[in-house]
């Protein structure tokens, strides 16, 4: 049956409906039914081989920014070396999967680039996790400023969200498509150092070592028996292997990707575990009297989980916490009333909102005040709140200093009073 014939039939039946005064419901049903037949026929005529004719290029990509022909300019923007244009995701039309793999390859290079900035520009050093790791086990790391553990006054701890981002990053998308300032933690680190903070940069998404799976098929057990003759089994295996090969050759896509398995890093297998581990082995042992924490997105959830596990320690050591579009939930995480009260006093959450920056927003839960980050883009909330967060920290530090001075004066006064009474006696 040709498409033309089907189309004539479609209109013929429609016309018949009018001529014979069919009900509206029946005419609608007939029209839809015929339309479905036409669509099914057209789809059956699509040649899948033609659609897949263009081979997908291999997943082999440059290993450096220079090989990608990209570089960061003086404004921290990623630009093509020859054209000066921003990064183009769709390097090849109609090959989304290949474009995505290329983007991910560039992202891995960006990660190493940010590590270099932390080490060379910010003078930070890597600390291996676990601290007692053996040579043959998977390890992660965090970054510390030279005075992170020795600074007696202030320590800033930075916790990113979930996903592909690693130490020093807020959002890979911003680094690639906007600039380094908005997408990395570098501005926060530099500002903190200028204001006398020690700094710890956590790495909560570095949870496992990914290794290639062994391609060797397991040897059959010596006790394993089969009713089939060996020659028949070999012919059967060859036939199945040939079918699989023909399938891949026919459709050409998807390419076979390397199969991998993940070996978790001990005591750092998740963001929550990582934050708890760093607290126990680094933050709790730091000399700073006042610890300040900034956590973005899922990092906020990890912080709340830390409070659930180390409530009294956190309350004694942490001065203030700045959250940006935090993913925490005090109900699902079952936080205590005392934790909620502490968060109400010591935390503030800058959330994505169309309202101007720092506008007070309606609370959604009885935990911490919510204010606008001045943007509706989740990934931009940290950068847009930059100045407000440091102002928030400064206010808390000043208040802590005043309270400490009042306590000291009170102790001095009492001591003097006791001395006078002793002299009188």
Catalytic residues: 297
Q: Report the candidate in 50, 47, 96, 89 with the shortest Cα–Cα distance to residue 70.
A: 89
Q: Report the candidate in 52, 128, 142, 126 with the shortest Cα–Cα distance to residue 95.
A: 52
Q: Return the structure tokens found at 349.
A: 């959450």
Q: Per-residue DSSP letters for 133-195?
A: --TTS--EEEEE-TTTTT-SSEEEEEE--SSS--TTBS-HHHHHHT-HHHHBSHHHHHHHHHT
Tell me which residue has tokens 């911490």.
368
**How distant is the alpha carbon of residue 281 from its chain centre?**
24
Q: Is 294 helix (H, G, I), strand (E, B) or coil?
A: strand
DSSP annotation of 118 reads I
CA–CA gap between residue 185 and residue 175 (Å, rounded): 11
DSSP annotation of 62 reads -
CA–CA gap between residue 113 and residue 334 (Å, rounded): 39
């Amino acid at each position: 049956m040709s498409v033309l014939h089907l189309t004539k039939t479609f209109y013929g039946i429609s016309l018949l409906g009018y001529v014979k005064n069919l009900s509206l419901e029946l005419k609608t049903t007939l029209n839809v039914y015929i339309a479905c037949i036409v669509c099914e026929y057209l789809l059956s005529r699509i040649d899948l081989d033609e659609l897949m004719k263009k081979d997908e290029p291999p997943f082999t990509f440059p290993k450096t920014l220079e090989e990608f022909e990209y570089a960061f300019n003086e404004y921290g923007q990623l630009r093509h070396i020859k054209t000066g244009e921003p990064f183009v995701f769709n390097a090849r039309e109609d090959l989304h999967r290949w474009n995505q793999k290329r983007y991910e390859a560039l992202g891995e290079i960006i990660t190493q680039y940010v590590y270099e900035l932390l080490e060379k520009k910010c003078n930070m050093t890597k600390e291996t996790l676990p601290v007692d790791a053996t040579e043959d086990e998977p390890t992660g790391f965090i970054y510390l400023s030279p005075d992170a553990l020795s600074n007696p006054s202030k320590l800033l701890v930075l916790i990113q969200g979930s996903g592909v981002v690693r130490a020093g990053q807020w959002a890979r998308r911003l680094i690639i498509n906007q600039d380094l300032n908005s997408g990395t933690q570098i501005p926060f680190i530099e500002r903190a150092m200028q204001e006398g903070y020690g700094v710890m940069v956590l790495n909560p998404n570095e949870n496992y070592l990914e290794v290639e799976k062994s391609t060797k098929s397991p040897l059959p057990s010596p006790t394993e028996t089969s009713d089939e003759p060996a020659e028949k089994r070999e012919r059967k295996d060859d036939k199945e292997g040939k079918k699989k090969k023909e399938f891949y050759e026919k459709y050409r896509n998807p390419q076979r990707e390397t199969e991998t398995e993940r070996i978790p890093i001990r005591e750092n297998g998740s963001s929550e575990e990582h934050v708890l581990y760093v607290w126990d082995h680094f933050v709790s042992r730091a000399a700073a009297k006042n610890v300040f924490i900034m956590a973005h997105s899922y990092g906020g959830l990890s912080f709340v989980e830390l409070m659930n596990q180390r409530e009294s320690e956190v309350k004694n050591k942490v001065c203030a916490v700045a959250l940006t579009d935090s993913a925490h939930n005090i109900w699902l995480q079952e936080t205590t009333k005392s934790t909620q009260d502490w968060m109400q006093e010591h935390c503030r959450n800058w959330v994505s909102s169309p309202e101007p920056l720092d506008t007070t927003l309606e609370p959604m839960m009885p935990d911490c005040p919510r204010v606008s980050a001045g943007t509706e883009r989740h990934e931009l909330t940290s950068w847009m709140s930059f100045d407000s967060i440091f102002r928030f920290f400064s206010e808390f530090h000043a208040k802590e200093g005043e309270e400490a001075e009042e306590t000291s004066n009170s102790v001095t006064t009492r001591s003097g009073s006791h001395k006078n009474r002793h002299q009188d006696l």
